[in-house]
Amino acid sequence: MTKSLFLFLPFAMIANNAFATKSNIDVAMKTQNTTAPRVLVAYFSMLYGNTGDVARAIVSESGGDIYRIMVEEEYPDDDKARKKLLTQQVEQNIFPALSGPEPEIAKYDVIFIGSPVWGNHLSQPVKSFLHKYDLSNKTVIPFVSHSGGGRGHTFSDVADLCSGCTVDTDGWSSWGAGRQRGIAKWVEKKLAQHY
């Protein structure tokens, strides 16, 4: 009996060690999963600052960093000149050159991307952003502001322009800057869904 226990012990110790190692790995993985995702809220806003207002609400709920997408050729204040440039860009689907500091995309796991709705699609500067920067392996969550026409094709535009990233097409859409009631819960839900 003593002899058989003696023979069994080394195996039990090895097995126990193996279990201990596995459970350590489990704990480590759980710890990793509870680490807060690193969030960037990138947006373009022009007419009334509506999309910027939504972006700031998302930042305050997510604790993320904010990045304003800017264009090299600014949209003129003069209504007629602005309309001419916008019509040309939208109709010809021109991606305007961007300016401003380069975003440090590599630092982030989740990118909320915000745009006004232009002609039922993403605004041209946001298309430029998605075209210019490599967001592969990131989770990309769109949000848009519009003036009553709804989100149009904006969420699927993000998916079309963002190859290799995970696009959550259940984004946020608001009429102007308003209707932000519920945004805290939405942000919380999105972060829980993806991390």
Residues that bind ligand FMN (CB under 6 A): 45-52, 86, 90, 116-120, 145-149, 152, 176
Task: State the minimum distance, in angstroms, from the CB of residue 125 to ligand FMN.
Answer: 10
Closer CB to ligand FMN, residue 9 or residue 81? 81
- Crossing angle of the two packed helices 124-132 and 154-161, in degrees rounded to 10: 20
Burial of 49 (0-12, 13-18, 19+ CB in 10 A): middle
Residues facing residue 175 across a β-bridge: 146
Task: State the minimum distance, in angstroms, from the CB of residue 147 to ligand FMN.
Answer: 4
Closer CB to ligand FMN, residue 57 or residue 191? 57
Q: How far apart are CA 115 and CA 111, in angstroms?
A: 13
Closer CB to ligand FMN, residue 17 or residue 147? 147
Task: State the minimum distance, in angstroms, from the CB of residue 93 to ligand FMN.
Answer: 13
Closer CB to ligand FMN, residue 101 or residue 148? 148
Task: State the minimum distance, in angstroms, from the CB of residue 178 to ligand FMN.
Answer: 9
User: Tokens 């605004």 correspond to what residue?
Assistant: 123
Residue 135, CA distances (Å) to 24, 44, 53, 127, 169 in order:
33, 17, 24, 13, 16
Closer CB to ligand FMN, residue 76 or residue 149? 149
Give the DSSP per-residue string, 121-190: EE-HHHHHHHHHS--TTSEEEEEEEESSS--TTHHHHHHHH-TTSEE--S-EEEETT---TTHHHHHHHH
Secondary structure (3-state) at 114: strand
| Closest residue to ligand FMN using C-beta atoms | 149
Task: State the minimum distance, in angstroms, from the CB of residue 21 to ligand FMN.
Answer: 53
Closer CB to ligand FMN, residue 139 or residue 145? 145
Task: State the minimum distance, in angstroms, from the CB of residue 97 to ligand FMN.
Answer: 18
